[in-house]
Structure 1
Amino acid sequence: MNTAVAQKVQVPDIAAQVTYAMRVMGIAPIPRNYELFYEAYIGSNPKLTRELAALGSKASQEELDEIGTQYFGHHHGATAIDGVHSKIVGELEGLLRLLKQEQTSLESYNKLLDETYGRITGKNAASVDIIKNVIGVLTQATGDTISQGKEMVENVAQKSIEMDNVRKELDEYKRIANTDSLTQLSNRRAFDDKLSAIYNSSMAHNVTALILADIDHFKKINDTYGHPVGDKILASVGSLIRANVRKDILVARTGGEEFAMIVEGNTEEEAMAIAERIRIALEHTPFKNSKTGVNYGPITISLGFCMASWADGPGELYSKADIALYCAKNGGRNRTMAFEDGMKKDFAKSWLIYRK
């Protein structure tokens, strides 16, 4: 949300402008391209904006993906995950080969037992020498089968270790793909997945809240002190939010200076208390350069929230929480507001424009 906006007529239609720019440049309207142009539009990373502009109207998808890989780690997540998937397939194929070998070994042993039984019960099987010979064959076959069984157990155990390592590797790729590189919080992708799942349970959404937060006057901070300082403040604010909520609460940086929290298992009053705890903690946190003595503060944040039970789906929930956030901004900033039906609705962004 642009913190300087207060009137409806001044609110830019970000989705329309981003989509128009992509269409003019002939860029495919796919989610990862939209993310690049959205970040460039809101000006959160001037270097990214300059690199996109330098491509002109002839940008190829390969060039866009190179920029995406540089600024958004999750752009190469699919390739990495595909590689891990291939490893898993390879390990499973190896395990199946081991099991087939064991099956073949057991089938051969069973066949030998059948033949031996036939010899013993045959009419000419009275000879002691034949009995001794059969016992010797069975002893050797049994020993070989036991040995093969031990080897099988060891091989399967090794395969299990290798597959567990591949699983851990896959988990790490997923963590990277769902993490904002600047703040180390969850990113928009992880937030979207969690928000979409809220309404999967008719019970859970009765005690679930969506809290949206936006740093006050952040554009002024960037313009006054520069984007490197702005990035440090973003990271510090993200750390402060994370430190003031439970570990099970998803905290995400959803774009620019915006953050979101999905709070499960709490009432409206408790959600308000969580938001206020964050706001007050930030209000009392000094932001000062220890080397130069420059004071960047005070840094404050505005928050708006909506209970999931007040909306019919994730899109409406996001819209109502954003309306509450806007009203907190328009009402003087550095405050928390819960959604109310009488709030003005014309300026709310649609969550759907962010879906990946």
Structure 2
Amino acid sequence: MQTAASHKIQIPDISAHVTHAMRIMGISPIPRNYELYYEAYIGSNPKLSKELAALGSKATQEELDAIGAQYFSNFHHPAGVDRAHTHLASELLSLLTLLKEEQTALESYNRVLDEAYSNITSKSSASAEILRHAVTILTNATADTMSRGKERVENVELKTFEMEIIRQELEEYKRIANTDSLTRLANRRAFDEKLAAIYNSENTKAYTGLLVVDIDHFKKVNDNYGHPVGDKILATVGTVIRANLRRDVFVARTGGEEFAVILTDSTVEECLQVGERIRTALANTPFKNSKTGVNYGPITLSVGICPAQSAEDPVDLYNKADIALYCAKNAGRNRTILFEDGMKKDTGKSWLIYRK
């Protein structure tokens, strides 16, 4: 196994870099701006990165919102989420009002019971008259309370149903926000969350492996056939990877032509087997235009693997899997390599948006 002899690099904290760059460039640190620069950082959309870079440090909020609406029309614009939140707040207020009305009605009913009890225990009236008066009061109050209670129960059920619909809507917004629009896999944002969660449990860490997968010579594909063809190939690669994994396995497109697989409940040997299965499946997949007959293939993958127990934290885990990927590229590509102590990497990834 060949390794690259050079110094070991550390992968920076993404959120800190994005926030720092936005502050340096005078960009308002609101969620939708952070989303733009986050996507640019991970390099999933080169056109977006170039447009933001062209704005430099003089970008207005209107210009940023225009870019956001162009590239993230499904989930970037805050109107949808804001509308759902406003609706949810309104429904909660209505429900609270119903509950307060019910409380008031019960308090009134308790006063009626107290009055009836006082009348019954009073010695100033005849027993028959007392009981007749008390029964009348209780009958009317009970009927009224039951009627109002039934109506409120129906209203509460309706509000609960409406709030469940809103909850599902918000969940859908979250799903869209965590999905790569091209491959329909999870995106870098979702990957970062999943990667961090590995280290929440010692048991999970002991049986989890990270596979970092990169398409070989993908730049040549884009240069020779254009980005539309490149996008179709990316989508197909994502489909092939997904098809060769268990349904419960997490897979994401983490940027450009790079993908990541997080295998839980798996040994190192199983991680290697999965890496080879993915690599072999793609190498045997034809990439040919059925109309023109143009053959875009072969398309191959390089895979770097690191067990979670071999890393100190999520950053270290990604760093080591990425080093293994680099070694797979350096050893000739189209192969799977497991991280070993002593492996090094001599070049790092840079960010197109903020560069001194």
Q: Into which bin does the TM-score normalised by the smaller protein fall?
A: 0.7 to 0.9
List aligned pairs for 1:37-56, cutoff 5 A: 37-38=40-41, 45-46=46-47, 48=48, 51-52=51-52, 55=55
**Separation in 1, partners of 2:58, 2:192:** 31
List aligned pairs for 1:38-117, cutoff 5 A: 38=41, 45-46=46-47, 48=48, 51-52=51-52, 55=55, 58-72=58-72, 76=76, 80-117=80-117
User: In the alignment, is residue 154 of structure 1 matched against residue 157 of structure 2?
Assistant: no
What's the offset of the Cα at 1:37? 4.4
What's the offset of the Cα at 1:33? 4.8
Report what 2:135 is aligned to: 135
Q: Per the alignment, in what secondary structure is the counterpart of residue 214 of structure 2?
A: strand
**Separation in 2, partners of 1:43, 1:122:** 82
> Which range moved further: 67-76 or 310-319?
67-76
Q: Per the alignment, in what secondary structure is the counterpart of residue 76 of structure 2?
A: helix
Report what 1:345 is aligned to: 345
**Separation in 1, partners of 2:276, 2:41:** 30
Report what 1:192 is aligned to: 192
Amino acid at match of 1:216: D
Report what 1:32 is aligned to: 35
Superposed CA offset, 1:52-108 (max 9, x none): 465466322331232133224586265533432332222222111111111111111
After TM superposition, the score normalised by the length of structure 1 is 0.86
What's the offset of the Cα at 1:163? 0.8
List aligned pairs for 1:151-190, cutoff 5 A: 151-190=151-190
Superposed CA offset, 1:256-278 (max 9, x none): 00001111110000011111111
**Separation in 2, partners of 1:154, 1:54:** 57
Superposed CA offset, 1:205-226 (max 9, x none): 0101111000011000000000
**Separation in 1, partners of 2:79, 2:189:** 17
Change (3 A) 1:51 1:312: closer
Which structure would you say has the larger RCO, counting Cα contacts within 8 Å and 6 or more residues apart?
Answer: 2
RMSD: 3.0
Report what 1:228 is aligned to: 228
List aligned pairs for 1:255-334, cutoff 5 A: 255-334=255-334
> Would you say how many aligned residue pairs link Structure 1 and Structure 2?
337
Superposed CA offset, 1:294-323 (max 9, x none): 111111111001000000000100000000
Q: Per the alignment, in what secondary structure is the counterpart of residue 263 of structure 1?
A: strand
**Separation in 2, partners of 1:14, 1:116:** 74
- Alignment gaps of 5+ in structure 1: 1-5
What's the offset of the Cα at 1:119? 1.0
Identical amino acids, percent of aligned pairs? 59
- Alignment gaps of 5+ in structure 2: none
Report what 1:119 is aligned to: 119
**Separation in 1, partners of 2:44, 2:149:** 64
**Separation in 2, partners of 1:142, 1:240:** 66
